[in-house]
Amino acid sequence: MAGGGFLGDDEPGEIAEINVTPLVDIMLVLLVIFMATATYITSSSFEVELPKAQSSSQQKPTGKAIQIVVHEDGHLVVDDEKIESDQLDALLAKRISDPTQVHAIVAADRHAHYGTVVEIIDHIRGHGIAVFSLQVEHKP
CATH classification at residue 133: 3.30.420.270
Evaluate whether residue 47 is within a structural domain. Answer: no
Q: How far apart are CA 15 and CA 38, in angstroms?
A: 39
Which stretches of the chain are DSSP H helices?
21-42, 88-95, 114-126
Q: How far apart are CA 125 and CA 62, in angstroms?
A: 18
Please state the separation of Cα 77 from the chain's center in Å.
Answer: 13
Do 56 and 118 share a domain, yes or no? Answer: yes
Identify the domain containing residue 36 by its residue range: 6-42
Do 35 and 68 share a domain, yes or no? Answer: no
Write the pLDDT tens digit of every residue in 7-46.
555 566 777 788 899 999 999 999 998 888 876 665 555 5
- How much is the pLDDT for 49? 67
Do 131 and 91 share a domain, yes or no? Answer: yes
Evaluate whether residue 113 is within a structural domain. Answer: yes
Do 38 and 58 share a domain, yes or no? Answer: no
Do 69 and 36 share a domain, yes or no? Answer: no
